[in-house]
Structure 1
Amino acid sequence: MEPLLQGAIIAAIALAAFLLGMPIAFALGFTSIVSIWLFLGPSQVDLFGKFVFDSTNDFGLLAIPLFVLMGNVFGGSTVSKHLFEAGEAWLSRVRGGLAMSSIVASAVFAAISGSSSATAAAIGGVAVPEMEKRGYSQRVAAGAVAAGGTLGILIPPSVTLILYGIASEESIGQLFAAGVIPGIIITVMFCVWIYIATGIDQRRATRIVEREFAVAAASEAAAGRTMTREAEPSGTATSVLTRQSGDIVAPTYSWPTKWTALVKVLPFVFLIVAVLGTLYAGVATPSEAAAVGVVLVLLLVGVAYRGLKGKQFLKILLDTTNQSTMILMITAFSGVIALVLSFLRVPQELASIVTELDVNKWVVMIVINLVLLVMGLFLPPVSIVVMVTPILYPLIMGLGFDPIWFGIIMTINMEVGLITPPVGLNLYVLKGILPHIALKDIIMGSLPYVGVLGLAIALFSFFPSLITWLPDLLY
Structure 2
Amino acid sequence: MESLTISIIVIIGLFAFLAAGMWVALSLFTAALVGMYLYGNDSFGYIYATTTWGAISGWALTALPLFIWMGEILFRTRLAEDLFKGLTPWLGRVPGRLLHVNIVSCGIFAAVSGSSAATAATIGKMTLPELKKRGYSDKMAIGTLAGSGTLGLLIPPSIILIVYGVAAEISIARLFIAGVLPGLLLVSLFMGFTMIWFAISGNKSADETIEKIPFISKVKKSAALIPVMLLIIFVLGSIYGGLTTTTEAAAFGVAGALVLASLTGSMNFKTFMDSLMGATKTSCMIALILAGAAFLTTAMAFLGLPQMLAEMIADMQLSNFMLLIALTVLFVFLGCFLDGISVVVLTTSVVLPMVSQAGIDLIWFGIFIVLVVEMSQITPPVGFNLFVIQGLTGKDLWYIAKAAAPFFLLILLAVFLIILFPGIVTFLPEQMTAN
Give TM-score scaled by structure 2 length.
0.94
Instruction: State the Cα distance separating 1:296 from its structure 2 match.
Output: 0.7
Give the letter for the 1:354 counterpart.
Answer: I
Q: CA distance change for structure 1 residues 131 and 341 in 2, over 3 Å: closer, same or farther?
A: same
2:95 is paired with a residue of what secondary structure?
coil
Q: Tell me what 1:460 maps to.
A: 418
Aligned residue for 1:390? 349
Where structure 2 has 5 or more consecutive residues not aligned to the other structure, the ranges are: none
Cα separation, partners in 2 of 1:470 and 1:247, compared to 1, 3 Å:
same
Deviation at 1:30, TM superposition (A): 2.2
CA distance in 2, matches of 1:63, 1:187: 26
Deviations 1:398-421 (A, max 9, x none): 111111111101100110111111
| Equivalences for residues 220-369 of structure 1 within 5 A | 247-249=206-208, 251-255=210-214, 256-302=216-262, 304-369=263-328
- CA distance in 1 between counterparts of 2:212 and 2:274 reads 36
Query: What residue in structure 2 maps to residue 427 of structure 1?
Result: 386
1:67 is displaced (CA, Å) by 0.8
For 1:271-292, what per-residue CA distance to the aligned partner results, in whole angstroms no more than 9, with x for missing partners? 1121112212223222221111
State the alpha-carbon separation in 2 of the partners of residues 463 and 327 from structure 1: 32
Identity of paired residues, percent? 35
TM-score under structure 1 length normalisation: 0.86
Per-residue deviation at 1:373?
Answer: 1.0
Partner of 1:163: 163
Q: State the partner residue of 1:9.
A: 9
CA distance 1:138–1:313, shift in 2 (3 Å): farther
Q: Are the equivalent residues in 1 in contact too, given 2:114–2:158 (CA < 8 A)?
A: yes
- Cα distance in structure 2, aligned partners of 1:281 and 1:464: 23
- Asked if the contact 1:98–1:131 (Cα under 8 Å) also holds between the matched residues in 2, the reply is yes
- How far apart are residue 440 of structure 1 and its match? 3.3
Q: Which protein shows a greater Rg?
A: 1
Q: Is 1:446 aligned to residue 391 of structure 2? A: no
Residue in 2 that maps onto 1:88: 88
For the residue of structure 1 that corresponds to 2:100, the secondary structure is: helix
Specify the alignment match of 1:108 in structure 2: 108
The residue that corresponds to 1:407 in the other structure is 366
The answer to whether the Cα contact below 8 Å between 1:134 and 1:250 also exists between their aligned partners in 2 is no
Deviation at 1:360, TM superposition (A): 2.0
Q: Do the aligned partners of residues 40 and 74 (structure 1) sit closer, same or farther apart at CA in structure 2, a change above 3 Å counting? A: farther
Q: Structure 1: 5+ residue runs without aligned partners? A: 204-244
- Report how many residues are paired: 432
The alpha-carbon distance between structure 1 residues 247 and 277, as it changes in their structure 2 partners (threshold 3 A), is closer
Report whether the alignment pairs 1:118 with 2:149: no
**Aligned partners of 2:7 and 2:305 also within 8 Å:** yes
Equivalent residue letter for 1:121: A
Deviation at 1:3, TM superposition (A): 4.4
Query: Cα gap change, 1:62/1:250 in structure 2, threshold over 3 Å: closer, same or farther?
Result: farther
| Secondary structure, counterpart of 2:265 in structure 1 | coil
- Determine helix, strand or coil for the equivalent of 2:318: coil
CA distance in 1, matches of 2:100, 2:5: 48
Q: Partners in 2 of 1:360 and 1:197 — Cα distance?
A: 37
Residue in 2 aligned with 1:137? 137
Contact 2:51–2:298 (CA under 8 A) maintained in structure 1: yes
Match of 1:213 in 2: none
Shift of 1:253: 4.9
Instruction: Provide the aligned C-alpha RMSD in A.
Output: 1.9
Taking the aligned partners of 1:444 and 1:18, their CA distance within structure 2 comes to: 26
- Counterpart CA distance in 1 for 2:374 and 2:73 is 23
Aligned residue for 1:56?
Answer: 56
